Structure 1
Amino acid sequence: MTVLRLSRAKVYDLLRSRQLPSFTVGRSRRVRAEDVAAYMRNRLEESY
């Protein structure tokens, strides 16, 4: 949430729609830094 500067609800929407890959550790949902960077890069490319 902090890196993407998005609300918790929006991040969960991205996870549910599989636009942002994640994995589970116990009861916590984790997202790799590389996946966050790839998501941001793709969004920037789409905006041009």
Structure 2
Amino acid sequence: MMSAPERLLRPKEVCQRLGISYPTLARWVREGKIRAVRTAGGKYRIPESEVRRIAEGLPD
């Protein structure tokens, strides 16, 4: 049985969920702090599991 593909989030949605700015997200992707995937159209998307992982490590 195959599992459903992981949901990929747009950068704007990731920024809203994590309470960070787009430049911060872009820096984290460059530094390897958060994993991003590139779509066939060249856009970046962030796996939902990465957002949860980062959110769990952020202070309130």
Q: Into which bin does the TM-score normalised by the smaller protein fall?
A: 0.7 to 0.9
Q: Which position in structure 2 is the counterpart of 1:21?
A: 35
Query: Gapped runs of 5+ residues in structure 2?
Result: 1-14
By how many angstroms is 1:33 displaced?
A: 0.8
Secondary structure, aligned partner of 2:44: strand
Runs of 4+ in 1 over 4 A off after TM superposition: none
Identity %, equivalent residues: 14
What TM-score does the superposition give when structure 1 sets the normalisation length? 0.78
Q: Does 1:7 align with 2:21?
A: yes
What is the rounded CA distance, in whole Å, between the counterparts of 2:22 and 2:46 in structure 1?
A: 13
Q: How much is the aligned-residue C-alpha RMSD, in angstroms?
A: 1.2
Q: Which position in structure 1 is the counterpart of 2:8?
A: none
Query: Gapped runs of 5+ residues in structure 1?
Result: none
Aligned length: 44
Q: Which has the larger radius of gyration?
A: 2
